[in-house]
Structure 1
Amino acid sequence: MTDRTQIVVLAKRPRPGRVKTRLTPPYTPEEAAALAACALDDTLDAVAATPAAARLLALDEVAGPDLTAGRPFELIGQRGDGLDERLAWAFQDAYARRRAPVVLVGMDSPQLTPALLAEATVALDDHDAVFGPATDGGFWLLGLRRPDPARLLGVPMSTPGTGAAQLRRLRGLSVAMLPRLTDVDDEASAREVAGQAPHTRFAAALSRLGAGAAR
């Protein structure tokens, strides 16, 4: 296990109508935002429990209530328009703060564990990059020993081919692969993730909401 790597969580403030919109329906915008808040909390817990050189929360809106709840995170704002730009500049901004490798995750994988994160950080000891593919064709984690915006800018995001396109951008680098995980995108994937991680805040919140299909 290494503490030489920075871990960045890229997230949106969980505001109704702004997050997890593919969960509505069957859930209301307020319920979808509550699920997003729990997923973010689970992610921050996992990152906080992982040895790291630094932990950063990159938010789309910096102003507002503290979302870290006393956990050891530096707060930075997101830059750019599309997701490719926000990812690229989050890497760059973290690396500008300290010249250390960067691992980045989103808030869509509440089943994330410190063990998986530690595997990613250790991989950067002897690889240029580490990549966690998602079942929807995207990716749930990307780590770079020396971040370069050109590795991300222009990659088409939120498509079934996003992961493959991102991997092509990593050609020429040594890449460590992590297990494939499911991101929370819709009701079906939310229930799949909750079943995989039943002790998370996310799973508890989903259970409280009951079966959306029965509404």
Structure 2
Amino acid sequence: MRSSPRALLIFTRNPVPGKCKTRLAATIGEQAALNIYIYLLQHTASQCAGLPDVQKFVYFSESLGDGAIWDTDTFDHRLQQGADLGLRMQRAFEDAFESGYREVIVIGSDLLDLHTSDLQKAFDLLSENEAVLGPAQDGGYYLLGLTRPVSGIFQNKAWGTNTVLKDTLADLGNTKTALLPVLNDIDLYEDIEGNPVFEPFLKKTK
């Protein structure tokens, strides 16, 4: 039952060796990459759980979670549906709007720099704008929020490349859009290099 006009959609991969953080794993190994990914999932779950007055949905890539990371009392578990990331996000947004939510935000689950306050700011911006975007340093985005469906926003994107943000802004056109600060998501070894938070995960690989 919908108890808030706001919905947070969290897209995540199931934490399986060899199927998550593959570009990072190419440098530090599958097990270390998996351990880092689980750490990032736990961070994201804790930051999202503290967000008040928002319905929270976790969209899994392969199978529904067991509640170990994403507490089922806090997060509604769902499966991603679609052939590519764009279609999967489009369907999740459509479901949210059809269910009556008026401010809908999607995020990934691997951003150490994303905190509850950032999510609150994004929803606050949606109260005054039709869209909000969180640009990532690699040219993509770590957050997208909408107050209504926007035609074409999820089509014809080279997902995972540095053109996604630019192309998305072009699709938004005259839609009143707010931008959040640029943050760095974690895909490559260079994204974690020198960060003491990740040193314990790397020691066994040296």
- What is the TM-score when the length of structure 2 is the normalising length? 0.89
Identity score, percent: 26
CA contact (8 A) 2:133 2:144 kept: yes
Q: Using the alignment, how far apart are the partners of 1:45 and 1:91 within structure 2? A: 23
Partner amino acid for 1:158? Answer: G
Match of 1:27 in 2: 28
Are the equivalent residues in 2 in contact too, given 1:101–1:147 (CA < 8 A)?
A: no
Aligned positions of 1:124-203 closer than 5 A: 124-148=126-150, 150-191=152-193, 194=195, 203=197
1:10 aligns with 2:2: no
Cα distance per residue 1:131-188 (max 9 Å; x no partner): 0101001011000011346321222211111110111111120001100000101111
Matches of 2:142 and 2:73 in 1, distance apart? 22
Measure the CA separation in 2 of the matches of 1:98 and 1:44.
24
The superposition leaves residues 181-213 of structure 1 with CA deviations (integer Å, 9 ceiling, x where unpaired) of: 001011110236x46xxxxxxx3xx2212358x
**Equivalent residues of 2:139, 2:162 under 8 A apart:** yes
Matched, 1:209 2:201: yes
Q: Is the 8 A contact 1:92 1:149 kept in 2?
A: no
Task: Indicate conservation of the 8 Å contact 2:141/2:164, yes or no.
Answer: yes
1:36 aligns with 2:28: no
The whole-number CA distance in structure 1 between the counterparts of 2:154 and 2:134 is: 15
C-alpha contact (below 8 Å) 2:7/2:101 kept by paired residues: no
1:18-167 → structure 2 map (5 Å cutoff): 18-66=19-67, 67-69=69-71, 72-148=74-150, 150-167=152-169
Matched pairs, number: 202
CA RMSD, 1 decimal = 2.0
Letter in 2 for 1:181: L
Moved over 6 A (4+): none
> Is the Cα–Cα contact under 8 Å of residues 28 and 202 in structure 2 kept in the other structure?
no
The alignment's TM-score, normalised by the length of structure 1, stands at: 0.86
- Cα-to-partner distance string for 1:94-147 (whole Å, 9 max, x where unaligned): 222333210110012122111111110000101000001010010110000113
